[in-house]
Amino acid sequence: MKLRILGSLFVFSIYSACSTQTESSIEVSYANFEAAYRANPKIHVLDVRTPQEYQEGHVPGAVLLPLQDIEAKGRSVSLPFAKEDQIYVICRSGRRSVTAAKILQEAGYNKSISVQGGTLAWIKNGNSVER
């Protein structure tokens, strides 16, 4: 009985550690992104939306590389940023950017993180966009 309980606790602790680690290594809250951007507007922001969406308005200074292109290149994707740089990956709402951040991490851009809430959160919080 004790062995079964210990086994269950072990599995639960491993699962908790893995899910917490994955979440924090792939996503950053919008508030943390905005604070980092305010501190340094020249941070690396990668917009993974379509060219049309990007032209409609994006975070000032964001570089466009659509998710489709990232997926097509996979681990051989190349960015205009160093692999050791912090890269904030943004899309419309935060879904595509999670996928892109995972691919970028697999390609060696280990500090790629998705911005929760995406460009919608940027606009909702009263920030201007670049066109």
CB 125 within 8 A of CB 33: no
Whether 91 is catalytic is: yes
CB atoms within 10 A of CB 19: 10
End-to-end CA distance of the chain: 64
State the angle between helix axes of 95-106 and 2-26 in degrees (0 to 180), rounded to the nearest 10.
100
Distance (Å, whole) CA 74 – CA 128: 32
Q: Choosing from 67, 91, 100, 121, which is the catalytic residue?
A: 91
Q: Which residues are known catalytic residues?
A: 91
